[in-house]
Amino acid sequence: MTWATVDELTSDEARAIKAMYAGEANPGQQRLALQVIVNKFSRAQDMLFVPGEHDQTAFLNGRGFVGMQILKVIKVPIGKLQTVDEEST
């Protein structure tokens, strides 16, 4: 796998992404879709460094940032998250 590619999706993973987009995903599909987004698309839990390739490393870290933000919202208790409503007051 090169730095910019994404592992092939299984048919279940593709169906889960499509069902989530359509607002029709069951709980298992919702979890699977988020796992695909965080682990395969953004690679949030990978080592996002390409030796000697600063642009590629920056690109991968941009992808990883998206996944880390999703994981943050999932794992941090609601009361500890600062929302847009709270920022404007």
Over residues 42-70, the pLDDT tens digits come to: 887 777 777 787 888 788 878 888 888 99
Hey, where are the domains in the chain? Answer: 11-87
Over residues 1-14, the pLDDT tens digits come to: 455 667 799 999 99
Q: How many CB atoms lie within 10 A of CB 63?
A: 18
pLDDT on residue 58: 84
